[in-house]
Chains A and B, each alone.
Chain A
Amino acid sequence: QQQVKQSPQSLIVQKGGISIINCAYENTAFDYFPWYQQFPGKGPALLIAIRPDVSEKKEGRFTISFNKSAKQFSLHIMDSQPGDSATYFCAASKGGFQKLVFGTGTRLLVSP
């Protein structure tokens, strides 16, 4: 049972374009939604995260949009750069111990 569904599986964007990755969740008890970025040969690293009390969070070129009623959240990468080429994972957890449930990942390639 996939509690967090992520799409697309892969994405190619031209340099300077906007990359958009979407996630949908089922469990309304989830209250923490992070995005992790993974470069080849490295472990994932936290990129940005949001809680459901806000609809948007922006950090530099990276923005999370959150739609509580639709149970969806998305990552937007503005002015995408070749250095953003990586695999991105959305995740969700509910309170307390922070056991994360991960999406299946999106491989992003930003072409020069």
Chain B
Amino acid sequence: DVKVTQSSRYLVKRTGEKVFLECVQDMDHENMFWYRQDPGLGLRLIYFSYDVKMKEKGDIPEGYSVSREKKERFSLILESASTNQTSMYLCASRKTDTQYFGPGTRLTVL
């Protein structure tokens, strides 16, 4: 089975802190994605990566950056966390047509 793991299920940070969200997949997938999920807004794409060291902006990249140094790991970085970044963050990796999601990290920024 494909497994996508995220480093934390719950995270509480303070405004202005630098936040790292880690995602690891074990199936050698080339493509990986970061989404945020908010009630009434569905899943919105923040960034994606189609290969190591390659990244592209999604629909809502402002305030975020990403890092992909190894194929299995895709990190989302909040350079200076703000309260409007309180959300559920979902990582996914892709094989053919299917995206496989991790369980999510619920981030609260105080």
**Chain A positions near chain B (C-beta within 8 angstroms):** 6, 9, 32, 34, 36, 41-46, 49, 89, 97-100, 102-105
Give complex CA distance A98, B93 in Å.
11
Q: Say whether A43 contacts B103, CB under 8 Å.
A: yes
Q: Say whether B94 contacts A44, CB under 8 Å.
A: no
- Contacts A43-B92, A43-B104 known; A104 to B99 CB distance under 8 Å? no
Q: Say whether A43 contacts B97, CB under 8 Å.
A: no
B residues less than 8 Å from A104 (CB atoms):
40-42
Q: 8 Å CB contacts to A: which residues of B89-105?
A: 90, 92, 94, 97-104
B residues less than 8 Å from A36 (CB atoms):
101
Chain B contact residue count (CB 8 A cutoff): 23
- Contacts A32-B97, A98-B97 known; A41 to B42 CB distance under 8 Å? no
Give complex CA distance A89, B35 in Å.
14
Q: 8 Å CB contacts to A: which residues of B50-83?
A: 50, 58
Q: Say whether A34 contacts B101, CB under 8 Å.
A: no
Chain A min CB distance to B94 (Å): 6
Q: Which residue of B lies closest to A107 (CB)?
A: B39
Give complex CA distance A6, B102 in Å.
23
Q: Say whether B43 contacts A89, CB under 8 Å.
A: yes
Q: Which of A34, A41, A105 contacts B97 (CB 8 A)?
A: A34
B residues less than 8 Å from A89 (CB atoms):
42-43
Given contact pairs A43-B4, A99-B45, enumerate 11 new A-B contacts (beta carbons under 8 Å): A32-B97, A43-B103, A43-B104, A44-B90, A44-B101, A45-B100, A98-B31, A99-B48, A100-B99, A104-B40, A104-B41
Q: Say whether B40 contacts A9, CB under 8 Å.
A: yes
A residues less than 8 Å from B92 (CB atoms):
43
